[in-house]
Structure 1
């Protein structure tokens, strides 16, 4: 499992590096290297923790983003999300380095790096509470899927997406791209759409989820939405 984690992480870092540095047109991009190294270490570290804490969940997280049993609409969403992710990486490489359209102070880039680490730590907290945190929308009846209402799930219904927003902001800041940061609300809107569709499926197929929605009012941000 650890070998699979390392190979998957390295492959993902190579892919993101190709998008970022290919768009940048240069390898002389300290912020780009910092991002890749930080994310590689955080991914392997959090994955190693998950391998000890919940190996079944790690196996689920390492699976492909289009699966059997996944809702059809979510398959389409994930394909569109993958295309949008590549476009976002390319945009930040073009903006921050090739065209030098953005200039971010070093302290703000440092804040971005801190937000990345904070988001991964928060996601680990989510994983500790929810062993069914699959990357795709589906009911995991073979694993005894049930409603989780403890930890961050006592405050928002989709804490994974909440952590993702922090991750997106941190990534754009670390890479020093204002255009990348400007895209975060659009990506967040996509997450919000998925959250609403996911809730419809869970309320229909997962016992007790409709009652959980009445208890926990907010989806992503407490007292906001």
Structure 2
């Protein structure tokens, strides 16, 4: 099987794939301290993200790294001819070098990559700003303080904004034009299509759940902090997107 003599543009994609995976990984790091039922009771029943948190975190990490590693291996195999490279291409693509040649840095990938990196950086800043108050579960902690500085002076729920943006980015990186999934032939198989549907459904469901959280969180924090929350809401009127929502 012939190998590509050079595919330098695609090779430039490798560090972006790794950086994107790192950004996505950071965005789902469980940096919170543990919570108990008493701290969560003011929010009523646990929502989907709280209930499925451990499963979702593991799924995100597996998909992020499996996809980044697979695409990296395809690009390296296409540029480093050997019997091993040939086996890698035969295993990870349906048409070998022809499929690998279509793995490219596309506008869809660049937008998705930017979104995922934005998500990782923003959520890391939110983690550090909230400190012990950051939790994946909707929680009012003992001696809870209302944090209104840093990204929380721009919108009231910046970590959720970052997550939704990151989910859009992951869909573009993993399934958009020029991606391994789009070029390898995987989406032409039943298994590949089922995976894509499940992954997209997960990203959409998590995003909708996080947007829905903002109303419940605002209501409970308003009850908890009263005038202090009212002042913050007056200064920071938007939940997720400045000037929009």
Bin for the TM-score computed over the shorter chain:
0.5 to 0.7
Tell me how far apart the structure 2 counterparts of residues 184 and 37 of structure 1 sit (CA, whole Å).
16
- Counterpart in the other structure of 2:161: 162
Please give the alpha-carbon distance, in whole angstroms, between the structure 2 residues aligned to 1:200 and 1:171: 30
- Over the aligned positions, Cα root-mean-square deviation in angstroms equals 4.3
**Map of 1:209 onto structure 2:** 229
Aligned 8 A contact 2:32 2:136 in 1: no
Larger radius of gyration: 2
Task: Pick closer, same or farther for the CA change 1:79–1:152 going to 2, 3 Å.
Answer: closer
Paired position in structure 1 for 2:140 = 139
Q: Which runs of 4+ in 1 moved over 6 A?
A: none
Separation in structure 2 between the aligned mates of residue 156 and residue 215 of structure 1, nearest angstrom: 10
The partner residue of 1:191 within 210, 231, 244 is 210
Which consecutive unaligned segments of at least 5 residues does structure 1 have?
Answer: 1-29, 48-56, 98-102
Structure 2 residue corresponding to 1:77, chosen from 48, 53, 58: 48
Q: Secondary structure at the match of 1:135?
A: coil
**For 2:31, what is the secondary structure of its paired residue?**
helix
Cα gap change, 1:218 to 1:175, in 2 (>3 Å) = same
Maintained 8 Å contact 1:156/1:221: yes
CA contact (8 A) 2:153 2:236 kept: yes
TM-score (norm 1): 0.57
Per-residue displacement from partner, 1:97-154 (whole Å, max 9, x unpaired)? 9xxxxx996422344233222211111222232221211111112xx32111111111
- Contact 1:74-1:136 within 8 A present in 2 as well: no
SS in 2 for 1:217: coil
1:155-211 deviations in Å (ceiling 9; x for gaps): 211001011112101111111158666886664332221110111111112352233
Measured at CA, do residues 79 and 159 of structure 1 come closer, stay the same or move farther in structure 2, by a change above 3 Å? Answer: closer
> How many matched pairs?
171
Deviation at 1:36, TM superposition (A): 10
In the alignment, does 2:38 pair up with 1:38? Answer: no
Are 1:156 and 1:219, in contact at CA under 8 Å, matched by a contact in 2?
A: yes
SS of residue in 2 equivalent to 1:127: helix
2-structure distance, mates of 1:58, 1:128: 10
- For residue 27 of structure 1, what is the aligned residue in structure 2? none
**1:36-185 superposed matches below 5 A:** 38-39=21-22, 42-43=25-26, 58-60=31-33, 63=34, 67-71=37-41, 73-78=44-49, 106-107=105-106, 108-131=108-131, 132-141=133-142, 144-176=143-175
Mapped contact 1:35–1:113 kept (Cα < 8 A)? no
Structure 2 gaps, min length 5: 1-12, 61-65, 67-91, 93-101, 177-195
Residue 223 of structure 1 aligns to a residue whose secondary structure is: coil
